[in-house]
Amino acid sequence: AQSVTQLDSHVSVSEGTPVLLRCNYSSSYSPSLFWYVQHPNKGLQLLLKYTSAATLVKGINGFEAEFKKSETSFHLTKPSAHMSDAAEYFCVVSDQESSASKIIFGSGTRLSIRP
């Protein structure tokens, strides 16, 4: 069985400071991992994905995540937060290489940005 745990339900940072959103996974298979962002009244948007290639994955809007098998983690980072980054972020796991098939969502982390 697969699952993801997002360790923080809410993260608040100041604009211009680094962002760290934590995610740990559990999977019987070699997993594929994804980060999605949900802005109010907008559809979920894929930020980045890991599919067993490079362990450091770069995504859109300056976000990146590192797959660490020894720690079963896939934390999302950004060097400098922008006000537009305020949103809900979901860590997602799949046993397939793409998210085209069934995926499991984490509980979500709400990111707030202080001016």
Partner 1 sequence: GAVVSQHPSWVICKSGTSVKIECRSLDFQATTMFWYRQFPKQSLMLMATSNEGSKATYEQGVEKDKFLINHASLTLSTLTVTSAHPEDSSFYICSASSDTQYFGPGTRLTVL
Output 41 or 70, the one with its CB closest to partner 1.
41
CA distance 52 to 113: 32
User: Can residue 63 be called a binding residue for partner 1 (CB under 8 A)?
Assistant: no
CA dihedral for 15, 63, 32, 22, sign (positive or negative): negative
Q: Give the contact letters, 80-109, x = binds to partner 1 (CB under 8 A), - = no.
A: ----------x-------xxxxxxxxxxx-
Output 84 or 98, the one with its CB closest to partner 1.
98
CB 92 within 8 A of CB 35: yes
The residues of the shown chain that bind partner 1, judged by CB under 8 A, are 36, 41-46, 49, 90, 98-108, 110
